[in-house]
C-alpha cells in the first residue's frame, strides 16, 4: 500500500514534468522538422508532432525510478528477491520502450503499413518470453453454455502466443486509426487506462491481487503522463501526439492485459476501437480506395466537420466490392451518391459514422461525443465482466 502511495506521488510529479517539458520542447520539434498542419482548421500553422515521445519517456523514467520502491523489500533481503516478478516488470518496460523507439522512427520516417504490423510483433517478443518462462498457461476457459461441446477448458498451445502477439498489433494500430481530430487519440487512451485502473482497484480484494498490483504499477504513471499530454493536445491542439503515443499506449495496454491475465477484459474496453477496425476493414484491405487521410472534412464557412469521402470508379469494382457495398447499404452504415462512372462514399471510420448519423458538428463536440461513447462502452464492459460473466463462467 505504501508503495502505491509513493507511486501516486511520483506520478503527480511526472504529470507536472510532462506538462512543463512539452511546453518547453515543442519549438525544438518544429525546428527539427517534426510538425504537421491541423487539417480541420482554417489557419495553417505548424503544429509540433510526435510529442508522445516526451510523455512516453517521462512515463518510462517514472517506472524506472519506481523499481527500488516496488522491490525495496527484495533488495533488503536479496536471498528472497522476487526474480520472476522483476523479470516481468523489466520485460513490460522493455516492450513499451521498444515501441517508443519504433513509434518515433515511424513519425520521423513515415513507415509503410506493413511495417506498422511487424514492429509491434517484434516488440512483444520479450513479453512473450517472460510469459512462457513465468506462466506458460495457454488454456482458455470455455463459457458454460459451450462446455457440452468443448469441455471446461481448451489448451490452444502455441496459438495462444500468436493470439498475444496479435493483441499487441491490434492494440497499437487500433488507437492509431481512431484518430485525426484534436484530443481523440489521447482522450480514448485516457478512458481505457482509467477503466483498467478501476478494474484493478475492484480486483485488489480478490486472489489475483498481485497481478492487479503489477497492472497498477504500470497504469498509474501512464495515466498521469497521458493527462499531461492531453492538456496540450485537447482542442485546439497545440501539439500532435504522433504514432509514438499510439504505439506506446497500445503496447502498455497489451502488456498489462497479457502479464496480469486479463487480456479479454482489456479487449472489452477496446469496444469502440474494435467497431472502428471492423468498419475500416474494406478500406484497410483496399476493397474500397483508402486515401492517406480519412479524417473528417472541415468546412471553413460553417466551422463544422462533415464526413470525408472517397471515390470508387465503377469499372474497377469487383463482385466482392459490390456485395460488400450492398450489405453496408442494407445496414445503413454508409452514405453514398453515384453517377454513371463512379460512387462517392464516406470514408469508413467511426468518426465519420458519427457525422453521418448525428449530422455535421464542431470538432470539439465530435471529440466529446466519441469519448462519451468510449465511456459508455467501458460501462457496458463492466456489465459484461461482472453481472453477465456469472452466467458464462463459474465464480
Q: Which residues bind Mg ion (CB under 5 A)?
A: 176, 243
Q: Based on the shown chain and the rule CB under 6 A, indicate whether residue 351 belongs to the binding site for ligand UD1.
A: no
Q: Is 55 in the site for ligand UD1 (CB under 6 A)?
A: no
Q: Indicate whether 364 belongs to the interface with ligand UD1 (CB under 6 A).
A: no
Q: Which is nearer to ligand UD1, 39 or 122 (CB)?
A: 39
Q: Please name which of 276, 272, 395 lies closest in space to residue 347, comparing C-alpha atoms.
A: 276
Rounded to whole angstroms, what are the CA distances from 22 to 17, 165, 252? 8, 32, 21
Written as nine digits, the cell of 78 is: 536479496
Q: Write out the DSSP string of 150-170.
A: H-SEEE-THHHHHHHHHHHHH
Cα distance between residue 81 and residue 102, in whole Å: 32
Question: Hey, which residues between 247 and 306 contact ligand UD1 (CB under 6 A)?
Answer: 293-295
Q: Is 19 in the site for ligand UD1 (CB under 6 A)?
A: no
If the CB atoms of residues 111 and 324 are measured against Mg ion, the closer one turns out to be 111
Give the total of residues touching ligand UD1 (CB under 6 A).
18
Of 237, 249, 263, 378, the one binding ligand UD1 by CB under 6 A? 237
Binding-site partner at residue 181 among Mg ion, ligand UD1, none, CB < 5 to 8 Å by type:
ligand UD1
From the list Mg ion, ligand UD1, none, partner contacted by residue 36 (C-beta under 5 to 8 A by kind): ligand UD1
CB nearer ligand UD1, residue 95 or residue 276 = 276
Q: Which is nearer to ligand UD1, 8 or 117 (CB)?
A: 117
Phi-psi region of 242 (alpha: psi -120 to 50; beta: other; left: phi over 0): left
Query: Is residue 182 close enough to count as binding ligand UD1 by CB under 6 A?
Result: yes
Nearest to ligand UD1 of 126, 183 (CB atom): 183
Taking CB under 6 A as the criterion, the residue among 12, 16, 28, 37 binding ligand UD1 is 37
- Minimum distance between the CB of residue 185 and Mg ion, rounded to whole angstroms? 7
CA separation (Å) from 129 to 102, 167, 202, 216, 255? 20, 15, 29, 22, 12
Q: Is the peptide bond before 63 cis (omega within 30 degrees of 0)?
A: no
Q: Minimum CB separation from Mg ion for residue 180, in Å? A: 8
Closer by beta carbon to Mg ion, 55 or else 176: 176
83 counts as binding ligand UD1 under rule CB under 6 A: no
CB nearer ligand UD1, residue 95 or residue 244: 244
Q: Which has the closest alpha carbon to 192: 258, 260, 270, 100?
A: 270
Which residue among 66, 240, 279, 382 contacts ligand UD1 (CB under 6 A)? 240
The answer to whether 230 contacts ligand UD1 (rule: CB under 6 A) is no
167 counts as binding ligand UD1 under rule CB under 6 A: no
* Residue 349 phi, psi (nearest 5): -130, 155
Q: In whole angstroms, give the CA distance from residue 52 to residue 185.
A: 10
**Complete DSSP assignment for 58-122:** HHHHHHHHHHHHHTHHHHHSGGG--HHHHHHHHHHHHHHHHHHHHHHHHHHH---HHHHHHHHHH
Give the full edge-to-edge strand order of the sheet including 309-313. Answer: 309-313, 342-346, 336-338
By CB under 6 A, name the binding residues for ligand UD1: 36-40, 49, 176-177, 179-182, 237, 240, 243, 293-295
Amino acid at each position: 500500500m505504501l508503495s502505491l502511495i509513493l507511486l501516486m506521488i511520483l506520478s503527480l510529479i511526472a504529470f507536472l514534468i510532462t506538462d512543463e517539458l512539452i511546453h518547453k520542447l515543442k519549438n525544438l520539434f518544429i525546428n527539427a522538422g517534426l510538425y504537421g498542419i491541423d487539417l480541420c482548421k482554417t489557419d495553417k500553422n505548424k503544429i509540433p508532432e510526435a510529442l508522445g515521445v516526451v510523455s512516453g519517456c517521462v512515463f518510462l523514467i517514472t517506472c524506472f525510478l519506481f523499481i527500488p520502491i516496488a522491490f525495496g523489500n527484495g533488495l533488503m533481503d536479496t536471498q528472497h528477491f522476487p526474480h520472476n516478478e522483476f523479470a516481468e516488470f523489466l520485460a513490460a518496460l522493455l516492450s513499451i520502450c521498444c515501441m517508443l523507439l519504433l513509434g518515433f522512427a515511424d513519425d520521423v520516417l513515415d513507415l509503410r503499413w506493413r511495417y506498422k504490423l511487424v514492429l509491434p510483433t517484434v516488440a512483444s517478443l520479450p513479453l512473450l518470453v517472460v510469459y512462457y518462462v513465468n506462466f506458460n498457461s495457454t488454456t482458455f476457459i470455455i463459457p458454460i453454455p459451450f462446455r457440452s461441446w468443448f469441455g471446461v477448458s481448451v489448451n490452444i498451445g502455441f496459438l495462444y502466443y500468436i493470439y498475444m502477439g496479435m493483441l499487441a498489433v491490434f492494440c497499437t494500430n487500433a488507437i492509431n486509426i481512431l484518430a485525426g481530430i484534436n484530443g481523440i487519440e489521447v482522450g480514448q487512451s485516457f478512458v481505457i487506462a482509467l477503466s483498467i485502473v478501476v478494474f484493478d482497484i475492484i480486483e485488489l480484494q480478490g486472489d489475483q491481487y498481485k497481478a492487479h498490483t503489477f497492472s497498477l504499477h504500470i497504469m498509474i504513471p501512464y495515466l498521469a503522463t497521458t493527462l499531461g499530454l492531453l492538456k496540450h493536445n485537447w482542442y485546439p491542439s497545440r501539439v500532435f501526439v504522433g504514432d509514438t503515443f499510439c504505439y506506446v499506449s497500445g503496447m502498455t495496454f497489451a502488456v498489462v492485459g497479457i502479464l496480469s491475465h486479463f487480456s479479454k477484459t482489456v479487449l472489452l474496453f477496446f469496444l469502440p476501437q474494435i467497431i472502428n477496425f471492423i468498419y475500416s476493414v474494406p478500406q484497410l484491405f483496399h476493397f474500397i480506395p483508402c486515401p492517406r487521410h480519412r479524417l473528417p472534412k472541415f468546412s471553413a464557412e460553417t466551422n463544422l466537420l462533415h464526413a470525408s469521402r472517397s471515390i470508387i470508379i465503377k469499372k474497377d469494382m469487383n463482385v466482392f466490392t459490390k456485395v460488400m457495398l450492398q450489405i453496408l447499404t442494407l445496414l445503413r452504415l454508409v452514405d453514398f451518391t453515384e453517377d454513371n462512372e463512379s460512387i462517392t462514399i464516406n470514408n469508413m471510420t467511426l468518426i465519420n459514422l458519427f457525422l453521418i448519423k448525428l449530422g455535421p458538428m464542431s470538432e470539439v463536440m465530435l471529440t466529446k461525443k466519441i469519448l462519451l461513447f468510449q465511456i459508455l462502452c467501458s460501462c457496458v464492459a463492466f456489465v459484461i465482466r461482472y453481472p453477465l460473466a456469472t452466467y458464462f463462467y463459474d465464480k
